[in-house]
Structure 1
Amino acid sequence: MSGKADPRPAGEGTTSRARLDRGRGALGPALELVHTGRAPTRAVLTAELGVTRATAGAVAAELEALGLIRVDARPGAAAGSQGRPSHRLTVDEDGPVVLAAQVHADGFRAALVGLGGRIVATTPSCEAVDADPAKVLGAAVEAGADLLRRTGRRCVGAGLAVPSAVTAPEGLALNPLHLAWPVGAPVREIFAERVRAARLDGPAFAANDVNAAALAEHRHGAGRGARDLLCVATGHRGVGGALVLDGRLHTGSSGLALEVGHLTVNPEGRPCHCGSRGCLDVEADPLALLTTAGREPGPEGSLLQQANELIRDEYADPVVRTAAEALIDRLGLGLAGLVNILNPDRIILGGLHRTLLDTDPERLRAVVTDRSLWGHSGGVPILACSLDHNSLVGAAELAWQPVLDDPLAALSGG
């Protein structure tokens, strides 16, 4: 697979090459298993791939030669275990990275992310977003390119997360309302142009920020092991949702599935920009909490930060507690409706919703149980998202996907 000359005798080399050829199709699945932590040893990799030890060894060696993983040269076994010790497999911490960028209503951030969902380097959050998406995305890419220059890492792709529904495959941001960007802004095309202009290698991708977060949490965080995972999160403004079905992100026919922010949870509630009233988008986001608690948003910190700090620092205030409970009830009503429709085996919550869950988990779970058919039949686990910067990590997952699909072709043109 590597194309290097084989110094072994002809017969032995032929056998080895045949083994490697058979194993090439397993390179991607093997890398994904190590990437997601599901194959910590070569023995587990062998079992998961359903191949011989020799083929698994050849596959692991090739991934190591590509600079993607490391194979422990001295196999070991846990205390008390039986059988042959197995070589440990880890992602190569000095290997290639992808550039990830996230834009939200209160700023943007760029990062370099390696395999395993590990953030290698990140920029401080910029707290201003221009109304011209080209300026914002150009600044984010330049910040990421500066990180690459300073770290000397190899870049193999770039991913972008934005707070808008993003069409597939065109990459148009259809509702970037809280960014003041034009409706239908071609964010993937703009991002890709800026990546090429910065002379960075690899393809560029764009997706909705909650879709990205769900993908990251499913592979590396609180959603790992779930088959049908529902993710709901506030972001800095509005409410988004995403669904992973049978291990794959469900985006619908054109990338626009799971616009959960426009579920009605308070028919007499606030007007929503979609034309309805009382949508989850305006009834359970950070601005809704501040407004319900009678607090004016301040100039310091993002709305999400202000809302989280209000709950953390002033929850003993009856007005704040009542406001938080009102948001929990609205969120629970929305989740119950989604449970009835989707029947997920796990729900994870991010942003302000994670804070609300941490603050009063029993209240939220009780609302979901009482108002959903499947909740009555056994309940659905509701967990907090566990990754820091999960939308950034998810944006990186978009860029890692071609490498996971075919590592050899993605990294060496093979």
Structure 2
Amino acid sequence: MTQTRTTRLERGRSALGPALELVHTGRAPTRAVLTAELGVTRATAGAVAAELEALGLIQVDSHPAAAGSQGRPSHRLAVAPNGPVVLAAQIHADGFRAALVGLGGRMVATAPGCMPVPADPSHIIDAVVEAGATLLRETGRSCLGAGLAVPSAVAEPDGTALNPLHLSWPVGSPVRALFAQSVAKAGVTGPDGSPVTAVTGNDVNLAALAEHRHGAGRGARHLLCVATGHRGVGGALVLDGRVHSGSSGLALEVGHLTVNPAGLPCHCGSRGCLDVEADPLAFLAAAGRTPDPEGSLLRQSRDLLRTRYADPSVRSAAESLIDRLGLGLAGLVNILNPDRIILGGLHRELLDADPERLRAVVADRSLWGRSGSVPILPCTLDHNSLIGAAEAAWQPVLDDPLAAFG
């Protein structure tokens, strides 16, 4: 084999990962766009697309040229509709959800579970993995990885949950090791028969990653995500496509920004943090509602906001939370200077309820917000933490598609 031929093959193989990510995120809908984005020849782009199609990851369809156009027709590229999946799992204060997610962030199947979260994390991790393994058996899909989202900062490189404040888990629970053990025990294996790689991350970090690739954050270079799920408030920063996790995975604990110095005591030891002043429990309390212990706090607060917003007590509670949230966002804008802010969970509902009030608070309290150059948008993906767990599981495949198949 000539040196030129060898170099061409190596260049094509090194382009497999970038090419797959372009199709996965919808940035290369045709082979012509793929050629331009990769900066390779048309022949190389065609070979790369053919290799990814042979692996069962994408499909290449002939796309007729538009009427009156000249030259060869391009080819449409899309993720393979019946291709492999990853197992995605999420644990929250009210239970768990498992799903099978394909390339492109497409959810193939899902199974929710409602159960009290026990003090031993292995029990609920086993339950959510078994739910995912059942989905794999029922669908017969090939699995290439597994990802878990948890409501806690996850320290790197050990994969331990350092502050599961709204769960009864011990501080420092080895969630990544427990997840990997559960995946192996449930018989979730890859194409070569060995247990798939299992990864774990903070739920808001993973939600931000999913929104950046497939949702409201697409195209942003400095994306700030703030969200409240079933309990507490989290934040994440995506810089040039990667989650900024700090030196050890603990960056952007925005829930512990003080927005009301005389406010409620927080689990972290401070008072008036976003975590206890702007989450679903805080909203229900401000509206004078007693939470139903059997139902999701997030669902209860959403339903109240959507159906009873005309009630003065509900509207007053919403305005109080919007003001607290806006104060926290203003501080983050001053520090981080993001080019876009996206809000998830109950915060998305508060933005929809009174967008002008929230934007006015941020503008009044921040240097850069006054210019009006920081868009504040709602997250657009359902179950974005779950999709983000899948993104983390897909990442090794995006980095090296051939290695994923042994």
Bin of the TM-score, shorter chain as denominator length: over 0.9
**Partner Cα distance (2:64, 2:305) in 1:** 47
Do structure 1's residue 267 and structure 2's residue 261 form an aligned pair? yes
Aligned residue among 145, 149, 153 for 2:137: 149
Do structure 1's residue 19 and structure 2's residue 8 form an aligned pair? yes
**Partner Cα distance (1:83, 1:370) in 2:** 55
Partner secondary structure for residue 179 of structure 1: coil
Do structure 1's residue 108 and structure 2's residue 102 form an aligned pair? no
- Bigger mean CA offset, 396-405 vs 20-29: 20-29
Aligned residue among 303, 316, 322 for 1:322: 316
- Residue type of the alignment partner of 1:278: G
Aligned residue among 34, 51, 54 for 1:65: 54
Do structure 1's residue 287 and structure 2's residue 281 form an aligned pair? yes
Name the counterpart of 2:228.
234
Per-residue deviation, residues 136-187 of structure 1 (Å, max 9, x unmatched): 0001111111100000011111000000000112110011121111111000
Identity of aligned residues (%): 79
Asked whether the 8 Å contact 2:339–2:373 carries over to 1, the reply is no
What is the TM-score of this pair, normalised by structure 1?
0.94
Do structure 1's residue 375 and structure 2's residue 401 form an aligned pair? no
Do structure 1's residue 170 and structure 2's residue 125 form an aligned pair? no
Per-residue deviation, residues 77-103 of structure 1 (Å, max 9, x unmatched): 456766542100000011111101000
Partner secondary structure for residue 113 of structure 2: coil
Asked whether the 8 Å contact 1:20–1:59 carries over to 2, the reply is no
**Partner Cα distance (2:67, 2:150) in 1:** 47
Aligned residue among 245, 256, 266 for 1:251: 245
Name the counterpart of 1:124.
112
Per-residue deviation, residues 379-411 of structure 1 (Å, max 9, x unmatched): 310110000110000001111000000001111
Unaligned runs of 5+ in 1: 1-9
1:348-367 equivalence runs, <5 A: 348-367=342-361
- Residue type of the alignment partner of 2:98: A
Name the counterpart of 2:193.
none
- Residue type of the alignment partner of 1:315: Y
Name the counterpart of 2:202.
208
Name the counterpart of 1:344.
338
The Cα of 1:313 is off from its aligned counterpart by 1.0
- Residue type of the alignment partner of 1:20: L
Do structure 1's residue 46 and structure 2's residue 35 form an aligned pair? yes
Q: 1:80 to 1:242 in 2, by over 3 A?
A: farther
CA RMSD of aligned residues (A): 1.5
- Residue type of the alignment partner of 1:321: R
Name the counterpart of 1:4.
none
Name the counterpart of 2:181.
193
- Residue type of the alignment partner of 1:205: V
**Partner Cα distance (1:218, 1:226) in 2:** 7
**Partner Cα distance (2:63, 2:315) in 1:** 54
**Partner Cα distance (2:173, 2:16) in 1:** 37
Do structure 1's residue 95 and structure 2's residue 118 form an aligned pair? no
- Bigger mean CA offset, 124-133 vs 77-86: 77-86
**Partner Cα distance (1:382, 1:292) in 2:** 24
**Partner Cα distance (2:155, 2:365) in 1:** 32
Unaligned runs of 5+ in 2: 190-195
Asked whether the 8 Å contact 1:172–1:184 carries over to 2, the reply is yes
Name the counterpart of 1:135.
123
The Cα of 1:369 is off from its aligned counterpart by 0.7
Tell me which stretches of 4 or more aligned residues in structure 1 moved more than 4 Å: 14-18, 78-83
**Partner Cα distance (1:108, 1:217) in 2:** 20
**Partner Cα distance (1:79, 1:142) in 2:** 52
